[in-house]
Structure 1
Amino acid sequence: MYGDSTANTPNLDKLASESMIFTHAYTTVGVCAPSRSSIITGMYPISIGTQNMRTGKDYVGWGMRKYGAPSNATDLEGNHVPLYSAVIPPYVKCFTQYLRKAGYYCTNNFKTDYQFAAPVTAWDANSRTASWKNRKPGQPFFAVFNDMVTHESRIWMNADLEQTVNPQAVAVPSFFPDNEIVRTDMARNYSNIELLDKHIGKKLEELKKAGLLDKTVIFFFSDHGGPLPKEKREYTEDGLHVPFMVRFPHGKGAGYVNDMISFVDIAPTILSLAGTPIPDYMQGQAFLGDQKAKTPRKYIFGSADRFDEIADRCRSVSDGRFYLVKNFHPELPAYKDLAYRKNIPMMRELLRERDNGELNADQMYWFRKHKTPEELYDTKTDPHCIHNLIDDPQYAAKIEELRPVLLKWIKESHDLGAMPEAQMVESMWPDFVQPVTLSPRVNMENGKVSITCQTKGASLAYILSDEEIQPNLNSDWLLYSQPIEKPKHKYLYALATRIGYRDSKVLEVKANKMKVDTLDAMKPIQ
């Protein structure tokens, strides 16, 4: 659907023939976790403190909300970056919380990677078994499936699998040397795409058999640009430009769409399609549905800060053709020598050829030891952004157009990248200690149960049960949004959660001992 037939993708081709195919869709950061924070919040990472890759990692399971930034990570001032979960503004929620409030059954299978642990209020189920199939009969659903088969790590992890694409069939771009190692890794990536196609086919068949295919809106996209070196983590075309398709029932509106869309637009768009009001704080704009923006966006913005153990700060703006980049630290090299990326055989080969003087000028551009304060690229003539036009006088007018746009975005976004990361973390976690959400209070008045919490920005969840249980931190919690009728169940469990904070203790309430004004026999069980 985008002009590359190297991989055989019959299921995606069929989906594309019935979908709106967006030709100018962009993530906000060319790497997964900051990008995914944009998807789930509708906010730019630089505005909510999720711009650094990575802050931590959350694990599924009771009592296992742990975080792990690389142990040798430092910020731009050389300060050690501790383990942390980003504390985002109190008014910012996972957009699925609004869908749940509207009655949707929301599931995620299974990756979150938002730079903070997914709150229990975000999903009805968040696990490897989460599916729309478990909803109540007739309940509308919003289900996310994350397929990892095309992840960067599968270039080496899938190396022993059958390679369905012939290495000699791939087209090697000019910024890579043409050799067996490069071709093999590129063919592995195409082979992974063929595996992905089979997985997508199964998901579509499940919807079809359930009679839901033409009652469902389907989004298909990647969470950043390509997984190969000089693609992932870049802040121009190769890192930000993504495939993006939307299928409406019966293929309504199918065809190519040239409007620019950004990942900050996904959350408001889905809320628009669901008929749910879009919160004013969201920085994106709906591109579909009843709340669709009156005018398409004119520019898209990207950022790059710390990637694993190496920090930098770059910002970019594009009008869909030209990229203008502002480098806050031009003295730093363009190439980031990340340990993780060197698991890819072709990355090690690129470094070997670099050190032996075997790369040409195009291939060496990525390895430049210093950057210019600004960069300009024309993706029409230079799709991989390896020819910097910033000093070419014929592009002066384009630079003068894009420069104030970029500076305005940086200012209006309250770019947290200007603050050393360690300082930002301390502002989120005073003395580098994670703040804790206060315990909820459970009360009854006029026959209805209310749950409250004094922590600003906290969301509330509860479980009703006839048996004493040990609640799971990832599934089965109901979102509390308004007082509930006095339960007939024996137990009520209540939890308060604030993104970036440690969850409150879970309160176990013996619901059959309710009194007029309060629920007694409450005890923490976490």
Structure 2
Amino acid sequence: MKGTSLVSAIALLGLVCAEASAVEAEKRPNILFAIADDWSVHAGCYGTPWVKTPAVDRIAREGIRFTNAFTPMAKCAPSRAIVLTGRHLWQNGEAGNHQAYFPADLKVWPEALVEAGWRVGFTGKGWGPGVANDASGKPRRLTGTAHQKRKSPPPTKGISDLDYAANFSDFLDATPAAGNPWCFWYGGFEPHRGYEAGSGASKGGKKPSDVDHVPGYLPDSDVVRDDLLDYAYEVEHFDAHLGRMVAELEKRGLLERTLVVVTSDHGMPFPHVKGFAYHDSNHVPLLIRWPAGLKSPGRVVEDFVDFTDLAPTFLDYAGVDVAKAGMKPITGDSLRPILEADHGGRIVAGRDHVLVGKERTDVGRPHDWGYPIRGIADADFLYLRNYEPSRWPAGNPETGYLDVDGGPSKSLILERGRKDRSDLFWRLCFGMLPADELYDLRNDPDCVRNLAADPAQADRVRSLRDRMESELRAQGDPRMLGRGLVFDEYKATSNAGFYDAYLRGEKLKAGWVTPTDFEPAPITPRP
């Protein structure tokens, strides 16, 4: 009799635990993380009339729109590594560089979710370019299991043929309706270059006059305006698939149980933006929708947040402890207090600035060296420290300025520079830079007037540099501790030794630039 009672008690306890586990799972949201490739803060909800983004705008209306969201590093692989680890580029070892070997001991939050029983998948671009293997040499699934089978005819030659939304549907079809939540990474390849020239006009129905603002670092010409319209058309492709995914969630009754986060890895693939550290380089769109855990939808939040905050946010809502999951300490903080606030504007005290930086963003300099930068941005100013100002910021001229993707805008500015090396746009996008840069973001958000040499700004430069470097030292930045050379010593996973091989006459592929980008001979540097 006692044995029967004991068995019954154990069975009852098991049932209670199972029900408790089911209730706890119900509290945890599914996660749809949508990250575009090279999308600046251009969307209808951000006030851009020449980019139509109904899906993104819906997330803004029904969620939160952040106005001061940043990636700390404006290049694909290192930026995505920050998203995955919650740590700054200077804390991620080799993963702080582009075309890197991802450290085997650097665990990421999708891996932690898988170990916690989640089903995790992705379509499109996950982390990369680079190599990510475990200690035994086996490839890792940093963003989950790939879902890349479904294809559809792309609207232009420059757009991927992946049917992202159909691949998401396949993922949902293969995911049990009951049980642990799921996480899906939608990594659109758009609006990364190359573009089909003229597609913004011919297929998107856009006109050069639609562009309401050409940034001050680009010539205001039809060449640049058409280039911006082609970029806009690819942003709209990303948005269209996001809209289909949201509609699919709605059809399945899953939308209200899903945390939707939309962003981009960094700014647009234009000179002075991607691969640099200016405001437009690091400033990204960020929108979050989560009905069950978000108060007062439609809010606009002005707190400064960055990509180190995404990992702790996902893990927080997933109920996964960072230390127990075996991840390295996370630098960022969960965004939950912002989501659960009942007002917009500034919410969390202390979120008044971000740190940014850069190491190697591409090969093309002697010895595969990078262009190391650290910076700090607040609501008023951006301060940048260039630690190797004798190097070419955009990459060496004779090897095609490889830090800048090829395209009509780049080609136009290079032609202007060949006619006149004092050309303003060539100097802003490809010329040498001083050790210190300071920009008044309220009056010069395009960052074209460097105030660092102004004696009236000396105290501000010193104060911002001291604050920045103090935080970097606390975070263990090798560059602050006399070990910055380590970033130059990390080997690139592709095109290693490009500079020396190219100068020896070897025919090398650099498909991200145009053949005419290469100068016929080295240029004598001048400030």
Same fold (TM over 0.5): yes
Deviation for aligned residue 1:188? 0.6
Asked if 1:324 corresponds to 2:383, the answer is yes
Contact residue 200 and residue 206 of structure 2 kept, 8 A = no
Higher strand share: 1
Q: Which residue number corresponds to residue 469 of structure 2?
A: 407
Deviation at 1:334, TM superposition (A): 3.4
Structure 2: distance between partners of 1:157 and 1:271: 43
Aligned to 1:188: 230
Q: 1:20 aligns with which of 52, 61, 64?
A: 64
Once the two structures are TM-superposed, the CA of residue 95 in structure 1 deviates from its matched residue by 0.8
Aligned equivalents of 1:4, 1:97: Cα separation in 2:
37
- TM-score by length of structure 1 reads 0.69
Q: In the superposition, relative to structure 1, how do residues 342 and 32 fare at CA in structure 2: closer, same or farther (>3 Å)?
A: closer
Aligned with 2:438: secondary structure? strand
Relative to its length, the structure with more helix (as a share) is 2
Deviation at 1:152, TM superposition (A): 3.0
Pick from 198, 215, 222: which aligns with 1:173?
A: 215
> Are residues 1:54 and 2:99 paired?
yes
Moved more, 197-206 or 131-140: 131-140
Q: Indicate conservation of the 8 Å contact 1:26/1:261, yes or no.
A: yes
Q: Quick check: 1:365–1:386 contact (8 Å CA) kept in 2?
A: no
State the partner residue of 1:307: 361
Q: Secondary structure at the match of 1:148?
A: coil
Find the residue that maps to 1:245 and give its secondary structure.
strand
Is 1:393 aligned to residue 452 of structure 2? no
CA distances 1:414-433 after superposition (whole Å, capped 9, x unpaired): 3346124464459x9xxxxx
Q: Does 1:197 align with 2:239?
A: yes
Matched, 1:230 2:272: yes
Aligned residues between the structures? 396
CA distance in 1, matches of 2:202, 2:126: 26
Give 1:86's aligned residue. Answer: 102
Distance in 1 (alpha carbons) for counterparts of 2:233 and 2:460: 40
What's the secondary structure of 1:343's corresponding residue?
coil
Verify the 8 A CA contact 1:155 1:185 in the aligned structure 2.
no
User: Contact 2:97–2:361 at 8 Å: present in 1 too?
Assistant: yes
Q: CA deviation at 1:165?
A: 1.9
Amino acid of the structure 2 residue aligned with 1:308: D
Mark the CA change 1:206 to 1:240 in structure 2 (over 3 Å): closer, same or farther. Answer: same
Can you list the C-alpha shifts for 1:264-318, whole angstroms capped at 9, x where unaligned? 1110011112222244711111121699997443331111122222321111111
Give the unaligned 5+ runs of structure 1.
56-84, 429-526
Give the equivalent residue in structure 1 for 2:205. Answer: 164
User: Deviation string for 1:67-93 (max 9, x for gaps)?
Assistant: xxxxxxxxxxxxxxxxxx2325x3x31
Query: What secondary structure is seen at the aligned counterpart in 2 of 1:315?
Result: strand
Cα distance in structure 2, aligned partners of 1:161 and 1:133: 37
Q: 1:253 to 1:100 in 2, by over 3 A?
A: farther
Q: Which residue number in structure 1 is paired with residue 123 of structure 2?
A: 109
Tell me which residue corresponds to 1:67. none
Residue matched to 2:306? 262
Q: Distance in 1 between matches of 2:220 and 2:286?
A: 29
SS in structure 1 at match of 2:302: strand
Alpha-carbon deviation of 1:157? 11
Gaps of 5+ in 2: 1-44, 134-138, 149-166, 341-346, 494-527
CA contact (8 A) 1:328 1:373 kept: yes
Distance 1:425 1:116 in 2: 11
- 1:474 corresponds to: none
Q: Which residue of 2 aligns with 1:375?
A: 437
Deviation at residue 54 of structure 1 after TM alignment = 1.8
Partner residue, 1:134: 174
Q: Which amino acid aligns with 1:378?
A: D
> What residue in structure 1 maps to residue 505 of structure 2?
none
Counterpart for residue 285 of structure 1: 333
Is 1:2–2:46 an aligned residue pair? yes
* Structure-2 residue corresponding to 1:253: 296
**Could you list the per-position Cα deviations for residues 26-70 of structure 1 after superposition, in whole angstroms to 9, with x for gaps in the alignment?**
001111110000011111122222222222xxxxxxxxxxxxxxx
The 3 A distance-change label for structure 1 pair 191 and 368 is: closer
- Offset of residue 368 of structure 1: 6.1
1:209 corresponds to which residue? 251
Supply the RMSD in Å over aligned alpha carbons.
3.0
* Separation in structure 2 between the aligned mates of residue 48 and residue 198 of structure 1, nearest angstrom: 34
Aligned equivalents of 1:134, 1:359: Cα separation in 2:
59
SS in structure 2 at match of 1:323: strand
Structure 1 pair 294/424, CA: closer, same or farther in 2 (3 Å)? same
Q: TM-score, normalised by structure 2?
A: 0.69
1:129-160 superposed Cα distances (whole Å, 9 cap, x missing partner) = 46244222223111111111211334669689
SS state at 1:100 partner: helix
Q: Residue type matched to 1:102 in 2?
A: A
Render the CA deviation track for 1:199-224: whole Å, top value 9, x for unaligned: 11111111110111111110000011
Counterparts of 2:354 and 2:441, CA distance in 1:
14
